[in-house]
Structure 1
Amino acid sequence: MNLDDVYNWILGHSQNYPGKHQESQPRTIASYKPLEAKAQFHIVIKATAEYIKEKMLNGNGVNMKELGAFTMEVNSDYVKPLQHSGFNMTQDLGIQRAERKHVHQIRPCFVPDNSFKYFLARYPGKEEITKPLSQHSIYQKGFGMNFCNAGPIAASCYLGKDVVQSIHNSLIKAIHDLTRLGHNLNIDFGFIKISVINRDLKYKYEQSFINRLNQTDYELKMRQSDLATSQHWTTTYQEKWSKSTLNNLLTRPNPGQVQDNYEKSMALKIMSLDLNTAEKTDYSKKQKVQLPALNK
């Protein structure tokens, strides 16, 4: 079963997955017409995949509650000591780091949640990721973990935040139920494919996505903040949102053009009315109409 089949399963079993995702919900912008229930699933999950992809390219991981964590680990080969590595004090540090960039490779991972592991027979073990010693939280699965925020996803889809949360909860619950029932799943998020065959979980990231991760400076991306404290707090939310790929996920239509098209369609509906279907009255028979006299 792919994602489309999972959507049909959720909509076909409304008694097991109640919520706002079962019906068409209004959009936050009047220029957009309401979508069908299944179309809402497609657009929200696509925006969720773009959100996770953007966070990982910025050096952060994303933890979806009760599903798993999309994170990464840095694999470093053995290097020579400084006195044997040919370190040049007169050369720029950034140039030397670029020359030794092949030493560090970023490996993206997917760590299933404990509630999801309960329904699985086999899955990659917890030793797959080496947890940094400075991170003591039990929810920390990798570097710079963030929980999946439904706010930016809802803003990019022009839907309510509660609708996005309802879709996420129903999708994760359906994945748990289908895995427990023994169905084979093929969850394709675009940049990662998660498969559950005979309750055996496997995943595979796209090679192009892995190459983009390795092209970034991991030391620069995996810090808490690249900006100074004063710049971090003075940067507005609009400036951060304008740089996000979610902002360009859907093109906003011209409100004036949408209103003109709406008025034209209403005018065509009025012009196409059949006079035979109008209500029949005896007004002309009971009252004589006095027409003006013609001047000859």
Structure 2
Amino acid sequence: MVAEHASDAIVTAGPFEGKDQLVARTKSYAAFPDPCGTSMCALWCASVRGVVEHVLQLPLQYPGPHHESQPRAAEDLAPTDPTRQLLLIWDAMCDYVSEQLQQAKGVTIKDFGSFIFERGIAVTSPRVPELGHVGREKEVVFPRFLLAESLRQELTRQDTKEDIRRQHISGSVFQTKKMTALNPVPIAAGCYMRQDVVASGLAAIFRAITELVRTNYDLEIDMKFAVIRIVNKRLRCAFSKVIRAAAQSTTDAGPFRDSLPVSKRWRESHLSKSMVEYLGDPSPTSMTERRRKTDILANTDLVSISSVSYSSRP
């Protein structure tokens, strides 16, 4: 894993990121205080890959089909080893949650927490202050991460103050915020994997995070749109500036209303663009060529196998 140093944070490269993408994403994170007093503490934190290896080393504690290499939904894609399989699921999950947040929708993850937006009112600067103009009020959104109760109990040094402001509307975040649960179906479609493999893999990773915190491990969880750092039983979260800008633009655009009748609205499909374009569609030509070569090898003895041409092999 490659680590790049920035003035405000240390971000670990994802399993499918190059150095240029890592540097660009590192610069987009907002500054946040380091609980250890020095940014070098992140070098000693366990990354997502370390959590994945911990899960795979304990099959009895984290049972499920994610411990074995599973076949892909597309025949053109070869199965991967369990480590890369879980890293692929994690990478796709981060893209899916990032897409939801850019649409100003909150996402809740069981046994981990909820990514939500807190809304407030800000006063813009007047155009001509000398003429006595008054600035206009504007609705602004702030990304927040609310801990799940199971994880909050392990963070004994976490601040006890409220994570979000108490507004005049009473109730939980599920009643007052625009929330959605983490859905493994589009993630499985984007990875070309079975839904049960994705669901068990994500559940094992998030449960392992809580148990590692319980055993005094320091973690740095890179989710591509945010970096969650747990050091000394205290959690800090730094969101990417792109998330806040995209959510703010969605809020400024206001509600979208079209002329589609209500009777047809329920038939409309809601596809995740990030998952549709995550790995792309398998090539039918490549699949046909692979089947043809497999049939040739099956019908060829060992003496004449050298006559098979592999020049066009993908």
Pairwise TM-score range, normalised by the shorter structure: 0.7 to 0.9
| Matched residue SS, 1:109 | strand
Asked if 1:249 corresponds to 2:283, the answer is no
Q: Distance in 2 between matches of 1:147 and 1:190?
A: 19
**Structure 2 stretches of 5 or more lacking a match?**
1-45, 126-130, 305-314
Deviations 1:246-275 (A, max 9, x none): 110011122232221343256368768259
Q: Distance in 2 between matches of 1:124 and 1:58?
A: 29
The structure 1 residue matched to 2:112, chosen from 54, 59, 67, is 67
Q: How does 1:94-113 map to 2 (within 5 A)?
A: 100=136, 103-113=138-148
Q: How does 1:200-279 map to 2 (within 5 A)?
A: 200-218=234-252, 220=254, 226-227=257-258, 230=261, 233-234=264-265, 236-238=267-269, 240-241=270-271, 244-264=273-293, 267=296, 273=302
Q: Distance in 2 between matches of 1:119 and 1:226?
A: 44
Deviation at 1:78, TM superposition (A): 5.0
- Asked whether the 8 Å contact 2:103–2:246 carries over to 1, the reply is no
Q: Under a length normalisation based on structure 1, what TM-score does the superposition of the two structures give?
A: 0.74
Asked if 1:127 corresponds to 2:152, the answer is no
- Asked whether the 8 Å contact 1:131–1:142 carries over to 2, the reply is no
Deviation at 1:236, TM superposition (A): 4.6
RMSD of equivalent CA atoms: 3.1
Asked if 1:34 corresponds to 2:79, the answer is yes
| Structure with higher helix content | 1
Deviation at 1:211, TM superposition (A): 2.7
Q: Distance in 1 between matches of 2:192 and 2:170?
A: 36
**Structure 1 stretches of 5 or more lacking a match?**
88-98, 276-296
Q: Distance in 1 between matches of 2:166 and 2:195?
A: 32
- Asked whether the 8 Å contact 2:117–2:143 carries over to 1, the reply is yes
Q: Distance in 2 between matches of 1:129 and 1:246?
A: 30
Deviations 1:159-212 (A, max 9, x none): 111111101110111001100011110100101000111111111011233233
Q: Under a length normalisation based on structure 2, what TM-score does the superposition of the two structures give?
A: 0.71
1:279 is matched with: none
> What amino acid is aligned across from residue 256 of structure 1 in structure 2?
T
Rate the CA distance shift 1:230–1:25 in 2: closer, same or farther, 3 A.
same
Rate the CA distance shift 1:231–1:49 in 2: closer, same or farther, 3 A.
farther
Q: Distance in 2 between matches of 1:112 and 1:148?
A: 15
Deviations 1:14-56 (A, max 9, x none): 1211111101112222222222111221111111111111111
Q: Distance in 2 between matches of 1:227 and 1:135?
A: 32
Considering only CA atoms, is the larger Rg found in Structure 1 or Structure 2?
A: 1
Q: Distance in 1 between matches of 2:74 and 2:168?
A: 46
